[in-house]
Structure 1
Amino acid sequence: MSGALLLYWVIVGFCAIKSAAFLALFSFDPKNRAALWFSGAFVAAATSFLAEIVLTTAFYPSVTRMVIALSIVVMFILVAYGYAVLYKVHLHPGGGWAIAAASALLYWIILDLPREDFTRQLVYQLPYALLSLLSLSVITRARSKRIFDWVLIVLLALLALHFVAKPFLALWTGGVGVTALDFVNTVYAGVSTAVGAVLLLFMATTAFGLMLSDTTGRLIQKAERDDETGLLNRAGFTNHAERSVLALGQTDTARRPELTLTLIGMNTPLHPRASDRHLAEMAELIGDHVPSDALVGRMADCDFAVLSPATNLMAARANAEALRLAANARLSEAGRPVTLSVGITEREKGEVYADLLARGLWALDEAEKSGGNCVRLAGHANFVTSGERRAKSAL
């Protein structure tokens, strides 16, 4: 078995593994539709290299050569559409069919020309180079780019250059051979296949890393989200709030940055748990009555929290009062009044999230003790803990 033929078998195995990996990723995360396109692309690549192996047996050579050529075309088309899905860039759905049809016509014209003809070799590689540039153009049109995106751009550019350079490489290394069996024994077959396989490996690995990163991000986001309302859950809100307050603390100056915490409790006297519809409507109402950059979370069955940057105590109170009135009007039904108890506090210099939460809970408790359907504030100056009260009593 020649070195090139052995390499073909290795590449077939690699393509099968990559296709299975992308398919497994799609099965795990159906929202990652780009993985499905890439899985199909590597099936097409494996088909092409299997056909290369079949061609050495002289089994229906004309058909086999067409399968080899068009399978790689299909692979690149599927890769381009996979990148379009991954980067949310529009590619016309009929474009792939048009490219495949044009390539089929081109190969039908040239494939029976002598293998060693330079023009035939150059024209044969042209669709692959152009399709590599099509994928490159998809990534360059993406709105934002990470380091991996630039790596892919470089790899696709190198892949396009690789296809253009192949006819010249064939001349330099002694030709492509007269027959398919001659071809697999040439230096050119081993070198060009090895270089293409390496570039394909890097491209596949980088694309898989990007898709895996997207899936991981979705899983983290899902873990932090409440299924019924779509808001942050308690753990997600706490994590983000702690980071936000900590970041604000690093910018503390003589002029205190404004940040308020609003805790909201739904009062449903006849039903301890709010209905799913009420919860969804409540989440929507909160979104309509808080700043667009505020963190909003569901802390318990009927309890919510809002962390509002660049918002002082009075502005937060005005938002809370408007929310309270809107909830009274929209959520209450005959015999099922829905009112809100709201506690609000403002961050003082040097405080962490736990300090805000303690005062916010105190204010919410005061609102509930007052009968609910009201807003209470907890300013730092008039708030003392039970430990501080005991210390003052001992004096």
Structure 2
Amino acid sequence: MTGALLVFWVIVALCTIEALVFLGLARFDPKNRAALWFSGAFAAAAISFLGEIVLTTGFYPGPTRMVIALAMVAMFVLLAYGLAIRYRVDLHPGGGWAIGTASALLYWLILDLPREDFVRQFLYQIPYALLSLLSLSVIWRSRSKKRLDRMFIWLFAFLALHFLAKPFLALWTGGVGATASGFSATVYAGLSTASGAVLLLILASGGLALLLSDTAGRLVQKAERDDETGLLSRQGFTTHAERRALALAEAESTERVDLTLTLIAIKAAAPSYALALPLRAMAALIGDHVSRDALVGRMADRDFAILSPHTNLMAARRTAEALRVAASANLSEPDRPVTLSIGITEREKGEVYADLLARGLWALDEAERAGGNCVRLAARSSFDLSNIRQG
């Protein structure tokens, strides 16, 4: 067994494993639709390299070469569509068929040209180079790019250059072999397959890291969400609120950013109505009244919280009053009135989320002491909350 043939078997095994891993990821996380396309892509790559092994036996060399070439084209097309799904970039559904058809026609036209003809070798690599650039363009068109995304851009750029350089590499190393069965014994075959194996491994590893990070992000997000309302859970809200308040504290020397915390307790007319409270509708109503950059969480069975950046105390109060009136008008039934008790506090210099929460709870308690269906503002931090009257 030649070195190139051994590498072919290794690549087939790696591609098969990667295809199964991506398939498993797609089954585990159905929302990760790109994983299914990546699975198909590496399955196609496995077929292509398996064809290279078959070609060394001399079995139907013409059809086998077509399978090798078109399976590799299919791999790059499937990768491009998988990336388009992941990066939310439009890619025309018929484009893949058009590319496949054009590639099949090209390979059929050059099939009978001499194997060592330079023009044939160059034309053979053009579809792969162009498809690499197609994947690059998909990532380039995405709105936000992180470090891993930029790594993929460079990887696909290198892949395009890699394919265009192959005919020159073959010329420099003594050719691709006079016959298909003799290809695996050439120096070019060893170099080409080894570099291909490394690039495929990098591509598979990077793709897996990219899609796994998406799934992990969804799992974290799901853990931070309240199933009934779709809002942040108490833990999720607290985590994000602490981060925002800490970031503001660290940036205080350069700029001041208003930040308010609004705590809401939804009440029914009687305890027997508690289970019938329209919590999902309440969550939607809050979403209609707050800005897009506000954090909204469900803190307990009937308690909600809003952390609003770039909002001062008076602006938060206007929003709270509008929300209180809207809840009474839209969520109440004739025999089941719904009222809100609302407490609001504004972040002061040097405060973290725990300080905001303590004064916000005091304001909410004051609203409930007043009989509910009202809004109360928190005392200043200089006011000693420990001296508040009890009872």
Q: Same fold (TM over 0.5)?
A: yes
The equivalent of 1:150 in structure 2 is 150
Q: Which moved more, 1:362-371 or 1:9-18?
A: 362-371
3-state secondary structure, aligned to 1:102: helix
| Aligned equivalents of 2:346, 2:352: Cα separation in 1 | 11
Moved more, 228-237 or 112-121: 112-121
The answer to whether the Cα contact below 8 Å between 1:159 and 1:196 also exists between their aligned partners in 2 is no
Equivalent in the alignment of 2:100: 100
Q: Cα distance, 1:352 vs. partner?
A: 2.1
Shift of 1:267: 0.5
- Distance in structure 2 (CA, Å) of the matches to 1:152 and 1:254: 36
Q: How does 1:60-209 map to 2 (within 5 A)?
A: 60-209=60-209
Partner of 1:232: 232
Write the letter of the residue equivalent to 1:178. A
1:272 is displaced (CA, Å) by: 5.5
Contact 2:273–2:336 under 8 Å retained in 1: no
The one-letter code of the counterpart of 2:55 is L
Measure how far apart 1:383 and its partner are.
4.3
- For the aligned residue pairs, the C-alpha RMSD in angstroms reads 2.1
Contact 2:363 2:379 in 1 (8 A): no
- Give the residue type in structure 2 aligned to 1:330: N
Contact 2:298 2:304 in 1 (8 A): yes
1:325 Cα deviation after fit: 0.7
Q: CA contact under 8 A between 2:267 and 2:340: conserved in structure 1? A: yes
Show the 5 A alignment for 1:331-342. Answer: 331-342=331-342
Residues 179 and 273 from structure 1, CA distance in 2 versus in 1: closer, same or farther, beyond 3 angstroms?
Answer: farther
User: What SS is found at the alignment partner of 2:345?
Assistant: strand
CA distance in 2, matches of 1:200, 1:60: 27
Instruction: Determine the C-alpha separation between the residues in 2 that align with 1:316 and 1:210.
Output: 39
Task: Give the aligned residue type for 1:41.
Answer: A
Aligned to 1:13: 13
Moved more, 166-175 or 55-64: 55-64
> CA contact under 8 A between 1:83 and 1:135: conserved in structure 2?
yes
Deviation at 1:290, TM superposition (A): 2.5
Q: Which residue of 2 aligns with 1:297?
A: 297
Residue aligned with 1:380, SS: coil
Query: Which SS does the other structure have where 1:335 is aligned?
Result: coil
Determine whether 1:27 maps to 2:7: no
How high is the TM-score relative to the length of structure 1?
0.93
Q: Which amino acid in structure 1 is aligned with residue 12 of structure 2?
A: V
Aligned ranges 1:182-331 → 2 under 5 Å: 182-252=182-252, 257-270=257-270, 278-331=278-331
Q: Would the alpha carbon gap of residues 108 and 257 (structure 1) be closer, same or farther in structure 2, given more than 3 Å must change? A: closer
Cα pair 1:346 1:379 within 8 Å, conserved: no
Other-structure match for 1:377: 377
Query: Which letter maps to 2:378?
Result: A
Shift of residue 87, structure 1, vs aligned partner: 1.2
> Is the 1:54–1:64 Cα contact (8 Å) retained in structure 2?
yes
Tell me the percent identity.
69
Whole-Å separation in 2 of the counterparts to 1:3 and 1:324: 76
Q: By how many angstroms is 1:299 displaced?
A: 0.4
- Report the Cα distance in structure 2 between the residues aligned to 1:312 and 1:132, rounded to whole angstroms: 51
One-letter amino acid of the counterpart of residue 296, structure 1: V
Instruction: Output the CA distance in 2 between the equivalents of 1:253 and 1:200.
Output: 49
User: Match of 1:299, SS?
Assistant: strand
Counterpart secondary structure, 1:155? helix
SS in 2 for 1:112: coil
Q: Is the 8 A contact 1:274 1:301 kept in 2?
A: no
The 1:109–1:277 alpha-carbon spacing in structure 2 relative to 1, beyond 3 Å, is farther
Q: Which amino acid aligns with 2:278?
A: H
| CA positional deviation for 1:382 | 8.0
CA distance in 2, matches of 1:66, 1:195: 22
CA shift in 2, pair 1:257/1:54, >3 Å: closer
Which residue does the alignment assign to 1:393?
none
Q: Distance in 2 between matches of 1:28 and 1:351?
A: 42
| Cα distance change, pair 337–104 in 1 and its aligned pair in 2 (3 A) | same
Q: 1:378 to 1:5 in 2, by over 3 A?
A: same
**Structure 1 residues 51-93: Cα deviation after superposition (integer angstroms, max 9, x where no partner):** 1111122222222111111100101110111111111111110
Letter in 1 for 2:98: A
Q: How does 1:350-389 map to 2 (within 5 A)?
A: 350-380=350-380, 383-386=383-386
Aligned length: 390
When structure 1 is superposed on structure 2, of 120-129 and 4-13 the one drifting more is 120-129
Cα pair distance change 1:90/1:255, threshold 3 Å:
closer
Which one-letter code corresponds to 1:91 in the other structure? L
> Are the structure 2 counterparts of residues 169 and 382 from structure 1 closer, same or farther at C-alpha, using a change threshold of 3 Å?
closer
Q: Does the CA contact (< 8 Å) of 1:273 and 1:301 recur in 2?
A: no
Q: Is the 8 A contact 2:359 2:381 kept in 1?
A: no
Unaligned runs of 5+ in 2: none
Partner-residue secondary structure (3-state), 1:180: coil
Q: Which amino acid aligns with 2:200?
A: L
Q: Is the 8 A contact 1:35 1:82 kept in 2?
A: yes
Contact between 1:342 and 1:374, CA under 8 Å: does it hold in 2?
A: yes
Distance 1:323 1:21, change over 3 A: same
CA contact (8 A) 1:256 1:348 kept: no
- Seen in structure 2, the aligned counterparts of structure 1 residues 150 and 258 have a Cα distance that, compared at 3 Å, is closer
